[in-house]
A and B are shown apart, each in its own frame.
Chain A
Amino acid sequence: MQGARTVNRLLDDLELNREAHLVIRNGTLVPGDARLEDGDAIEVRPVISGGAT
Protein backbone atom coordinates (compact mmCIF):
# COMPACT_ATOMS: atom_id res chain seq x y z
CA MET A 1 0.00 0.00 0.00
CA GLN A 2 1.29 3.44 -0.88
CA GLY A 3 0.79 6.68 1.01
CA ALA A 4 1.24 7.84 4.58
CA ARG A 5 -1.58 7.13 7.01
CA THR A 6 -2.16 6.44 10.68
CA VAL A 7 -2.23 2.94 12.15
CA ASN A 8 -5.97 3.20 12.72
CA ARG A 9 -6.52 4.33 9.15
CA LEU A 10 -4.43 1.43 7.86
CA LEU A 11 -6.52 -1.06 9.84
CA ASP A 12 -9.73 0.57 8.62
CA ASP A 13 -8.49 0.46 5.02
CA LEU A 14 -7.71 -3.24 5.47
CA GLU A 15 -11.12 -3.74 7.14
CA LEU A 16 -9.45 -5.16 10.24
CA ASN A 17 -10.81 -4.75 13.76
CA ARG A 18 -8.50 -2.63 15.93
CA GLU A 19 -9.24 -4.77 18.95
CA ALA A 20 -8.00 -7.86 17.13
CA HIS A 21 -4.69 -6.56 15.79
CA LEU A 22 -1.43 -4.90 16.74
CA VAL A 23 0.76 -2.94 14.35
CA ILE A 24 4.53 -3.09 14.50
CA ARG A 25 6.52 -0.39 12.68
CA ASN A 26 10.20 -1.01 12.00
CA GLY A 27 10.24 -3.61 14.78
CA THR A 28 8.46 -1.47 17.41
CA LEU A 29 4.87 -1.65 18.60
CA VAL A 30 2.99 1.58 17.82
CA PRO A 31 -0.42 2.97 18.88
CA GLY A 32 -3.42 3.73 16.68
CA ASP A 33 -2.56 7.36 16.03
CA ALA A 34 1.07 6.68 15.04
CA ARG A 35 1.82 7.76 11.49
CA LEU A 36 3.13 5.28 8.96
CA GLU A 37 5.20 6.47 6.02
CA ASP A 38 6.18 4.89 2.73
CA GLY A 39 9.33 2.87 3.37
CA ASP A 40 8.40 1.84 6.90
CA ALA A 41 8.46 -1.91 7.50
CA ILE A 42 4.97 -2.70 8.81
CA GLU A 43 3.68 -5.89 10.40
CA VAL A 44 -0.01 -6.21 11.15
CA ARG A 45 -0.22 -8.94 13.75
CA PRO A 46 -3.52 -10.68 14.53
CA VAL A 47 -3.95 -11.35 18.26
CA ILE A 48 -6.97 -13.65 18.27
CA SER A 49 -6.50 -17.31 19.10
CA GLY A 50 -9.16 -19.90 18.72
CA GLY A 51 -8.84 -22.58 21.36
CA ALA A 52 -12.10 -22.82 23.26
CA THR A 53 -10.87 -25.06 26.05
Chain B
Amino acid sequence: MTAVGSKCRVCKEPAVIDLPRHNAHFCAEHLQQLCRRQMTKAIDDFGMLSPDDRILVAVSGGKDSLAIWDMLVEAGYSADGLYVSLGIGDYSTESGGYVQRFADERGLNLQVIDLRQDYGYDVPTASKATGRVPCSACGLSKRRLFDRAALDGGYDVVVTGHNLDDEAAVLFGNTLRWDIDYLARQLPVLPATNGFPKKVKPLIRLTEREMAAWCLVRGIDYVVEECPIAAGNKHLAYKESLNAIEARSPGAKSAFFLGFLDRMAPLLAGHSAAAAGELNRCAECGEPTTGEVCAFCRLVEKAAKHDPVPVELVLSKRARKAYS
Protein backbone atom coordinates (compact mmCIF):
# COMPACT_ATOMS: atom_id res chain seq x y z
CA MET B 1 0.00 0.00 0.00
CA THR B 2 1.75 3.14 -1.11
CA ALA B 3 -0.97 5.67 -1.59
CA VAL B 4 -4.54 6.67 -1.22
CA GLY B 5 -4.41 10.18 -2.66
CA SER B 6 -7.17 12.41 -3.92
CA LYS B 7 -9.51 11.85 -6.83
CA CYS B 8 -9.77 13.76 -10.08
CA ARG B 9 -12.37 16.53 -9.87
CA VAL B 10 -13.81 15.50 -13.23
CA CYS B 11 -13.82 11.68 -13.34
CA LYS B 12 -13.06 10.67 -9.72
CA GLU B 13 -10.19 8.45 -10.84
CA PRO B 14 -6.91 8.74 -8.87
CA ALA B 15 -5.36 12.17 -9.33
CA VAL B 16 -1.78 12.80 -10.45
CA ILE B 17 -1.63 16.45 -9.47
CA ASP B 18 -3.17 18.96 -7.10
CA LEU B 19 -3.66 22.49 -8.41
CA PRO B 20 -4.40 24.75 -5.44
CA ARG B 21 -5.20 27.74 -7.66
CA HIS B 22 -8.10 25.73 -9.08
CA ASN B 23 -8.84 24.19 -5.68
CA ALA B 24 -8.86 20.81 -7.41
CA HIS B 25 -7.03 17.60 -8.25
CA PHE B 26 -6.80 16.13 -11.75
CA CYS B 27 -5.93 12.80 -13.34
CA ALA B 28 -3.54 12.77 -16.31
CA GLU B 29 -6.34 12.90 -18.87
CA HIS B 30 -8.16 15.82 -17.29
CA LEU B 31 -4.97 17.71 -16.54
CA GLN B 32 -4.41 17.64 -20.30
CA GLN B 33 -7.97 18.78 -20.88
CA LEU B 34 -7.44 21.72 -18.54
CA CYS B 35 -4.18 22.68 -20.28
CA ARG B 36 -5.79 22.48 -23.73
CA ARG B 37 -8.68 24.66 -22.62
CA GLN B 38 -6.41 27.26 -21.06
CA MET B 39 -4.27 27.41 -24.21
CA THR B 40 -7.35 27.71 -26.40
CA LYS B 41 -8.79 30.45 -24.21
CA ALA B 42 -5.56 32.45 -24.44
CA ILE B 43 -5.45 32.02 -28.23
CA ASP B 44 -9.10 33.03 -28.62
CA ASP B 45 -9.15 35.89 -26.09
CA PHE B 46 -6.17 37.62 -27.67
CA GLY B 47 -6.57 36.60 -31.32
CA MET B 48 -3.21 34.86 -31.27
CA LEU B 49 -3.57 32.36 -34.08
CA SER B 50 -5.74 31.52 -37.07
CA PRO B 51 -6.35 27.87 -38.00
CA ASP B 52 -4.34 28.09 -41.22
CA ASP B 53 -1.42 30.14 -39.88
CA ARG B 54 2.09 28.92 -40.63
CA ILE B 55 3.66 28.90 -37.17
CA LEU B 56 7.31 28.99 -36.14
CA VAL B 57 7.83 27.77 -32.56
CA ALA B 58 10.93 28.99 -30.73
CA VAL B 59 12.20 25.86 -29.01
CA SER B 60 14.93 25.56 -26.39
CA GLY B 61 14.73 21.92 -25.25
CA GLY B 62 13.01 22.98 -22.03
CA LYS B 63 9.53 21.94 -20.93
CA ASP B 64 7.60 25.02 -22.01
CA SER B 65 8.67 25.27 -25.63
CA LEU B 66 8.37 21.53 -26.26
CA ALA B 67 4.98 21.49 -24.54
CA ILE B 68 3.56 24.33 -26.65
CA TRP B 69 4.90 22.75 -29.83
CA ASP B 70 3.22 19.48 -28.80
CA MET B 71 -0.05 21.23 -27.88
CA LEU B 72 -0.23 23.19 -31.13
CA VAL B 73 0.46 20.16 -33.31
CA GLU B 74 -2.07 18.13 -31.34
CA ALA B 75 -4.63 20.90 -31.86
CA GLY B 76 -4.09 20.68 -35.63
CA TYR B 77 -1.91 23.73 -36.23
CA SER B 78 0.89 23.72 -38.77
CA ALA B 79 3.95 24.40 -36.60
CA ASP B 80 7.66 24.11 -37.35
CA GLY B 81 10.39 24.52 -34.73
CA LEU B 82 13.48 26.70 -34.62
CA TYR B 83 16.30 25.93 -32.20
CA VAL B 84 19.25 28.28 -31.67
CA SER B 85 22.38 26.58 -30.34
CA LEU B 86 23.85 29.16 -27.99
CA GLY B 87 27.26 27.62 -27.24
CA ILE B 88 26.65 27.36 -23.49
CA GLY B 89 28.86 24.30 -22.96
CA ASP B 90 27.29 20.91 -22.26
CA TYR B 91 23.95 22.56 -21.56
CA SER B 92 23.53 23.56 -25.20
CA THR B 93 24.63 20.16 -26.46
CA GLU B 94 22.12 18.44 -24.19
CA SER B 95 19.28 20.88 -24.98
CA GLY B 96 19.78 20.49 -28.71
CA GLY B 97 19.60 16.72 -28.34
CA TYR B 98 16.20 16.88 -26.61
CA VAL B 99 14.81 19.15 -29.32
CA GLN B 100 16.10 16.99 -32.16
CA ARG B 101 14.71 13.79 -30.60
CA PHE B 102 11.33 15.45 -29.99
CA ALA B 103 11.12 16.55 -33.63
CA ASP B 104 12.40 13.24 -35.04
CA GLU B 105 10.01 11.10 -32.98
CA ARG B 106 7.03 13.12 -34.19
CA GLY B 107 8.17 13.78 -37.74
CA LEU B 108 8.17 17.54 -37.22
CA ASN B 109 10.18 20.08 -39.16
CA LEU B 110 13.02 21.56 -37.10
CA GLN B 111 15.40 24.30 -38.18
CA VAL B 112 18.67 24.74 -36.29
CA ILE B 113 20.88 27.81 -36.11
CA ASP B 114 24.30 27.40 -34.50
CA LEU B 115 25.62 30.74 -33.28
CA ARG B 116 29.26 29.66 -33.46
CA GLN B 117 29.05 27.99 -36.87
CA ASP B 118 26.64 30.41 -38.51
CA TYR B 119 27.58 33.73 -36.91
CA GLY B 120 31.09 33.16 -35.50
CA TYR B 121 30.31 33.62 -31.81
CA ASP B 122 28.53 32.09 -28.83
CA VAL B 123 26.75 33.56 -25.83
CA PRO B 124 29.69 33.47 -23.37
CA THR B 125 31.93 35.17 -25.93
CA ALA B 126 29.29 37.76 -26.80
CA SER B 127 28.89 38.55 -23.13
CA LYS B 128 32.64 39.09 -22.63
CA ALA B 129 33.09 41.00 -25.87
CA THR B 130 30.22 43.42 -25.36
CA GLY B 131 30.05 43.74 -21.58
CA ARG B 132 26.42 42.65 -21.64
CA VAL B 133 25.29 40.18 -19.02
CA PRO B 134 25.02 36.74 -20.66
CA CYS B 135 21.21 36.59 -20.45
CA SER B 136 21.03 39.90 -22.30
CA ALA B 137 23.37 38.70 -25.08
CA CYS B 138 21.36 35.48 -25.29
CA GLY B 139 17.97 37.18 -25.44
CA LEU B 140 19.08 39.72 -28.03
CA SER B 141 20.52 36.97 -30.24
CA LYS B 142 17.47 34.74 -29.99
CA ARG B 143 14.96 37.52 -30.60
CA ARG B 144 16.71 38.73 -33.71
CA LEU B 145 17.29 35.26 -35.15
CA PHE B 146 13.69 34.16 -34.53
CA ASP B 147 12.41 37.36 -36.14
CA ARG B 148 14.65 36.93 -39.15
CA ALA B 149 13.87 33.24 -39.60
CA ALA B 150 10.13 33.92 -39.41
CA LEU B 151 10.24 36.68 -42.00
CA ASP B 152 12.62 34.82 -44.33
CA GLY B 153 10.61 31.60 -44.02
CA GLY B 154 7.27 33.24 -44.73
CA TYR B 155 5.79 32.30 -41.36
CA ASP B 156 2.70 34.14 -40.14
CA VAL B 157 3.61 34.11 -36.49
CA VAL B 158 6.33 33.21 -33.97
CA VAL B 159 5.16 31.27 -30.91
CA THR B 160 7.17 31.29 -27.71
CA GLY B 161 6.70 29.12 -24.61
CA HIS B 162 6.50 31.94 -22.06
CA ASN B 163 4.19 30.76 -19.30
CA LEU B 164 2.27 32.47 -16.51
CA ASP B 165 5.25 32.32 -14.13
CA ASP B 166 7.57 33.86 -16.73
CA GLU B 167 5.19 36.70 -17.45
CA ALA B 168 4.33 37.34 -13.81
CA ALA B 169 8.04 37.50 -12.93
CA VAL B 170 8.80 39.93 -15.76
CA LEU B 171 5.81 42.04 -14.73
CA PHE B 172 7.01 41.98 -11.13
CA GLY B 173 10.46 43.24 -12.18
CA ASN B 174 9.06 45.90 -14.51
CA THR B 175 6.70 47.08 -11.78
CA LEU B 176 9.44 47.28 -9.15
CA ARG B 177 11.25 49.66 -11.51
CA TRP B 178 8.05 51.29 -12.85
CA ASP B 179 9.54 50.76 -16.28
CA ILE B 180 6.69 52.16 -18.34
CA ASP B 181 8.27 51.36 -21.72
CA TYR B 182 8.68 47.67 -20.84
CA LEU B 183 5.30 47.51 -19.10
CA ALA B 184 3.63 48.91 -22.21
CA ARG B 185 5.25 46.19 -24.32
CA GLN B 186 4.46 43.25 -22.05
CA LEU B 187 1.62 41.94 -24.15
CA PRO B 188 0.73 38.36 -25.11
CA VAL B 189 0.47 39.38 -28.76
CA LEU B 190 2.93 41.64 -30.52
CA PRO B 191 1.45 42.34 -33.95
CA ALA B 192 3.53 42.24 -37.13
CA THR B 193 4.74 45.81 -37.43
CA ASN B 194 7.78 47.92 -38.23
CA GLY B 195 9.51 44.93 -39.85
CA PHE B 196 8.90 42.57 -36.91
CA PRO B 197 6.90 39.35 -37.27
CA LYS B 198 3.80 38.71 -35.16
CA LYS B 199 4.75 37.09 -31.83
CA VAL B 200 2.40 35.33 -29.44
CA LYS B 201 2.51 33.53 -26.08
CA PRO B 202 -0.25 30.89 -25.85
CA LEU B 203 0.90 29.58 -22.43
CA ILE B 204 0.21 32.75 -20.44
CA ARG B 205 -2.68 31.10 -18.57
CA LEU B 206 -0.61 28.04 -17.53
CA THR B 207 2.03 27.76 -14.80
CA GLU B 208 5.46 26.18 -14.97
CA ARG B 209 4.28 23.37 -12.72
CA GLU B 210 1.38 22.65 -15.05
CA MET B 211 3.65 22.64 -18.10
CA ALA B 212 6.16 20.31 -16.45
CA ALA B 213 3.24 18.04 -15.56
CA TRP B 214 2.01 18.18 -19.18
CA CYS B 215 5.41 16.94 -20.34
CA LEU B 216 5.46 14.15 -17.76
CA VAL B 217 2.03 12.78 -18.58
CA ARG B 218 2.66 13.12 -22.32
CA GLY B 219 6.03 11.35 -22.14
CA ILE B 220 8.00 14.36 -23.37
CA ASP B 221 11.66 14.29 -22.37
CA TYR B 222 13.10 17.74 -21.83
CA VAL B 223 16.18 19.29 -20.30
CA VAL B 224 15.38 19.55 -16.59
CA GLU B 225 18.63 21.20 -15.54
CA GLU B 226 18.59 24.96 -15.55
CA CYS B 227 20.84 26.98 -17.85
CA PRO B 228 24.05 27.30 -15.79
CA ILE B 229 24.29 30.99 -16.58
CA ALA B 230 20.78 31.75 -15.35
CA ALA B 231 21.42 30.37 -11.84
CA GLY B 232 20.94 33.12 -9.31
CA ASN B 233 19.61 35.73 -11.73
CA LYS B 234 17.00 38.31 -10.73
CA HIS B 235 14.28 36.66 -12.81
CA LEU B 236 14.57 33.50 -10.70
CA ALA B 237 14.50 35.57 -7.51
CA TYR B 238 11.25 37.19 -8.67
CA LYS B 239 9.78 33.76 -9.37
CA GLU B 240 10.74 32.54 -5.90
CA SER B 241 9.13 35.61 -4.35
CA LEU B 242 5.92 35.14 -6.33
CA ASN B 243 5.81 31.43 -5.48
CA ALA B 244 6.13 32.30 -1.79
CA ILE B 245 3.07 34.54 -2.19
CA GLU B 246 1.27 31.88 -4.25
CA ALA B 247 1.81 29.30 -1.50
CA ARG B 248 0.01 31.60 0.95
CA SER B 249 -2.55 32.82 -1.56
CA PRO B 250 -3.27 30.36 -4.41
CA GLY B 251 -4.16 32.17 -7.61
CA ALA B 252 -2.12 35.27 -6.74
CA LYS B 253 0.19 34.96 -9.78
CA SER B 254 -2.73 34.56 -12.14
CA ALA B 255 -4.59 37.51 -10.60
CA PHE B 256 -1.45 39.66 -10.80
CA PHE B 257 -0.62 39.01 -14.46
CA LEU B 258 -4.02 38.40 -16.01
CA GLY B 259 -5.39 41.37 -14.04
CA PHE B 260 -2.59 43.49 -15.50
CA LEU B 261 -3.56 42.43 -19.02
CA ASP B 262 -7.23 43.08 -18.34
CA ARG B 263 -7.10 46.37 -16.49
CA MET B 264 -3.65 47.99 -16.67
CA ALA B 265 -2.29 47.18 -20.12
CA PRO B 266 -5.08 49.10 -21.89
CA LEU B 267 -4.07 52.24 -19.98
CA LEU B 268 -0.47 51.86 -21.17
CA ALA B 269 -1.28 51.37 -24.86
CA GLY B 270 0.95 53.51 -27.07
CA HIS B 271 3.52 54.30 -24.37
CA SER B 272 6.46 52.35 -25.87
CA ALA B 273 8.95 53.67 -28.42
CA ALA B 274 8.26 50.73 -30.73
CA ALA B 275 4.52 51.31 -30.59
CA ALA B 276 5.04 54.97 -31.38
CA GLY B 277 6.90 53.96 -34.55
CA GLU B 278 10.13 55.70 -33.56
CA LEU B 279 12.34 53.22 -35.41
CA ASN B 280 15.03 53.52 -38.05
CA ARG B 281 16.52 50.89 -40.36
CA CYS B 282 19.85 49.41 -39.29
CA ALA B 283 22.64 50.67 -41.59
CA GLU B 284 24.16 47.16 -41.62
CA CYS B 285 21.26 44.71 -41.92
CA GLY B 286 18.25 46.93 -42.67
CA GLU B 287 16.24 45.62 -39.76
CA PRO B 288 14.34 47.86 -37.32
CA THR B 289 16.33 49.68 -34.66
CA THR B 290 16.11 52.76 -32.49
CA GLY B 291 19.73 53.69 -33.37
CA GLU B 292 21.83 53.80 -36.55
CA VAL B 293 23.23 50.26 -36.32
CA CYS B 294 21.08 47.70 -34.50
CA ALA B 295 22.18 46.12 -31.23
CA PHE B 296 22.45 42.68 -32.85
CA CYS B 297 24.83 43.84 -35.60
CA ARG B 298 26.94 45.64 -33.00
CA LEU B 299 27.04 42.48 -30.89
CA VAL B 300 28.04 40.25 -33.84
CA GLU B 301 30.72 42.73 -34.91
CA LYS B 302 32.40 42.62 -31.50
CA ALA B 303 31.78 39.00 -30.56
CA ALA B 304 32.93 37.40 -33.82
CA LYS B 305 36.33 39.14 -33.50
CA HIS B 306 36.81 37.99 -29.91
CA ASP B 307 38.64 34.80 -28.91
CA PRO B 308 36.15 32.12 -27.79
CA VAL B 309 35.29 32.37 -24.09
CA PRO B 310 34.36 29.21 -22.14
CA VAL B 311 31.10 29.31 -20.23
CA GLU B 312 32.85 29.04 -16.85
CA LEU B 313 34.33 32.52 -17.31
CA VAL B 314 30.98 34.28 -17.50
CA LEU B 315 29.24 32.62 -14.58
CA SER B 316 28.27 34.75 -11.62
CA LYS B 317 29.62 33.71 -8.22
CA ARG B 318 26.31 32.05 -7.36
CA ALA B 319 26.10 30.36 -10.77
CA ARG B 320 29.67 29.03 -10.44
CA LYS B 321 28.72 27.41 -7.16
CA ALA B 322 25.68 25.76 -8.74
CA TYR B 323 27.63 24.71 -11.86
CA SER B 324 30.57 23.06 -10.03
Binding site for B on A (CB under 8 A): 17-22, 24-26, 28-37, 40, 45-53
Contacts and interface: CB of A to CB of B under 8 A. Distances in A.
A17 B251 CA distance: 15
B3 to A, nearest CB: 5
A29 B208 contact: no
B227 A22 contact: no
B135 interface: yes
Contacts of B239: 20, 48, 50
A17 B60 CA distance: 25
Contacts of B128: none
A47 B235 CA distance: 14
A46 B235 CA distance: 16
B24 to A, nearest CB: 10
29 contacts: A19-B207, A19-B243, A20-B209, A20-B240, A20-B243, A30-B16, A31-B16, A35-B3, A35-B4, A35-B5, A45-B216, A45-B224, A47-B208, A47-B209, A48-B165, A48-B226, A48-B236, A50-B231, A50-B233, A51-B135, A51-B138, A51-B139, A51-B166, A51-B230, A52-B166, A52-B230, A52-B234, A53-B139, A53-B143
Nearest to B139: A53
Given A28-B16, A31-B16, A52 B170 contact: yes
A28 B2 CA distance: 12
A5 B53 CA distance: 49
Contacts, number: 118
A22 to B, nearest CB: 6
Given A49-B64, A49-B226, A51-B60, A29 B169 contact: no
Contacts of A49: 62-64, 208, 226-227, 230
B244 interface: yes
Contacts of A35: 2-5
Interface string B14-38: 0111101000010010000000000
Nearest to A50: B230
A4 B12 CA distance: 25
B216 A24 contact: yes
Contact of A51 (B4, B15, B211, B227): B227
A48 B237 CA distance: 11
Nearest to B238: A52
B216 A17 contact: no
A17 B243 contact: yes
A34 to B, nearest CB: 4
A18 B230 CA distance: 21
Nearest to B138: A53
B264 interface: no
A31 B165 CA distance: 20
Given A51-B60, A53-B138, A34 B247 contact: no
A25 to B, nearest CB: 7
Nearest to B211: A47
Contacts of A17: 240, 243-244, 247
Contact of B209 (A19, A28, A51): A19
B173 to A, nearest CB: 8
B255 interface: no
B246 interface: yes
